[in-house]
Structure 1
Amino acid sequence: MDISDNIAKINDKIKSAAAQAGRSSEEIKLIAVSKKKSTDLIAAAHHCGLTNFGENYLQESVEKISSINSKEIDWHFIGNIQSKKSSQIAQYFSWVHTIDRAKIVNALDAAGQNLKVLIQVNVSEEKSKSGISESDLMPLAEIVIESKCLELKGLMALPSPPIDGKINEKEYEKMNMLSDQLKNFYSPANELSLGTSQDFELGIKHGSTMVRVGESIFGKR
């Protein structure tokens, strides 16, 4: 496995997808999802120019962040949040992608650390998935905006997986629409975290500014 080759291929795909959408690839951050990956692999990816890494599990990530200890890296928390662990998340991460209720907003804000956050939308309306409903988006956005330490930067979503090989593109269209609505309401919230190894090109087509890629960089877990 050659991480540098993998990253180069992904960057080429990002540039191609952005061009097809009439966008600049400079608008799009590649977030390397490094859960269950060693610090050596993360260091190798960082050496290839990546500066944004996403982690799902707090205890594992705290150990890695402390070990790597690089000010050049922005760490993104992309897992489910337990309010009792909010203080540690705020201490170790620059970004949180999975804000989905007022309790979490208040707990993170109480930690007293400046933090960039995204609201997670349950765009597929699956009961098994985290995220808020479309109707609850703006009320929660107002709570985040009024907080002292949290900076609302945009939205995040995990669309439903393909069924019989077919992706539900309407979910991506909806996220693009909701992102535009939020930006019109609050212009600093201009980020959209949408797309993983399997669908980041479609995410870019529909306005994604952050793609979360793990397997295509590091290989299968």
Structure 2
Amino acid sequence: MVCQNVQRIEESIFRACQRAGRKREEIILLGASKYADAEKIRQAYQCGVKVFGESRAQDFLKKLEILKDLPIDWHFIGNLQTNKVKYIIDKVSLIHSVDRPALAEEINKRAEKIQKVQEVLIEVNLGGEETKGGVSPEELKKLFEYCLNLKNIKVLGLMAIPPYEEDPEKVRPYFARLRELKEKLEEAYKVKLPHLSMGMSNDFEVAIEEGTTIIRIGSALFL
């Protein structure tokens, strides 16, 4: 079942890349495994998915223990509380959800302790939704500058969870906006930001057309 899902997703990625004139290698397929048990993650790994993103520190640590025999590339994609940073800092390659100075500061401090430069994305709340994390587009520059001054953090790009729409085309403007925000930061600060983490099960093809590099797929992969 999971393997069939992977195959279907891969075909959709390929088609979207063709439409956008992009290469398949430009897209990281991340299994958003918040609602998947360790066995489902193992199946997805065996079917070719090598990157997984967890959203809750406690659940992540349990799954990590069960799956420690697999060289999974783990990302943290959920809302991250400062008091949970110490539990994940040595276990994830990328944190997608930096949205405030206090969190950036804590990640920097914990990374420094283990002599690591932690790669992160800044999460932007494009729809102004109170139920979602993310810095407002207006505050993005200030947070980006703050992160630039921290030695043990490296910002690789931006992440967003736009408002949900049945019709993926209605989400396109949000994806385009995130890409523009990234390009403006690159121009203003003379930096290269290689990643945009945007696009989920319902709308990842549109996200690919708009420049995403990481798609976070949960239900289409595991259900």
Q: Give the structure-1-normalised TM-score.
A: 0.92
Instruction: State the Cα distance separating 1:117 from its structure 2 match.
Output: 0.5
CA contact (8 A) 2:172 2:207 kept: no
1:107 deviates by 0.4
In the other structure, the counterpart of 1:198 is: 202
Which residue among 208, 211, 216 is the counterpart of 1:212? 216
RMSD: 1.7
The equivalent of 2:40 in structure 1 is 41
User: Is the aligned partner of 1:173 residue 2:176?
Assistant: yes
Q: Percent identity?
A: 33
Match of 1:148 among 151, 158, 162: 151
Find the residue that maps to 2:83 and give its secondary structure: helix
Query: Quick one: distance in 2 between partners of 1:172 and 1:28?
Result: 15
Give 1:103 deviation, angstroms: 0.2
Q: Who is 1:188 aligned against?
A: 192
Q: What displacement does 1:159 show?
A: 0.7
Instruction: List aligned pairs for 1:45-60, cutoff 5 A.
Output: 45-60=44-59
Q: Which runs of 5+ in 1 are unaligned?
A: none
Query: Secondary structure at 1:53's aligned position in 2?
Result: strand
Aligned length: 218
TM-score (normalised: structure 2):
0.92
Instruction: Give me the whole-angstrom Cα distance separating, in 2, the residues matched to 1:131 and 1:167.
Output: 20
C-alpha displacement at 1:156, in angstroms? 0.2
Provide the C-alpha distance between the structure 1 equivalents of 2:153 and 2:66, rounded to a whole number of angstroms: 26
Residues 109 and 70 (structure 1), Cα distance of their counterparts in 2 relative to 1, 3 Å cut: farther
User: Which AA in structure 2 matches 1:22?
Assistant: G
1:177 shift after superposition? 0.7
Is residue 138 of structure 2 the alignment partner of residue 135 of structure 1?
yes
Q: Post-superposition shift, 1:67? A: 2.1
Which residue identity is paired with 2:33? S
Give structure 2 stretches of 5+ with no counterpart: none
Residue 48 of structure 1: how far off its partner (Å)? 1.2
- In 2, Cα distance between the equivalents of 1:213 and 1:142? 30
Distance in 2 (alpha carbons) for counterparts of 1:110 and 1:44: 36
What is the CA–CA distance in structure 2 between the aligned matches of 1:209 and 1:186, rounded to whole Å? 20
- Give the Cα separation in 2 of the matches to 1:6 and 1:156: 24
Corresponding position of 2:110: 111
User: Hey, which bits of structure 1, 4+ residues long, moved more than 4 A?
Assistant: 163-166
- Kept in 1, the 8 Å contact 2:16–2:208? The answer is yes
**Preserved CA contact (<8 Å) 1:152 1:188:** no
CA distance in 2, matches of 1:38, 1:72: 17
Deviation (angstroms), 1:216: 0.7
In 2, Cα distance between the equivalents of 1:200 and 1:165? 8
**Residue 123 (1) aligns with residue 126 (2):** yes
Q: Which amino acid aligns with 1:193?
A: S
Distance 1:145 1:26 in 2: 28
Mapped to 2, the partners of 1:204 and 1:187 lie a distance apart of 22
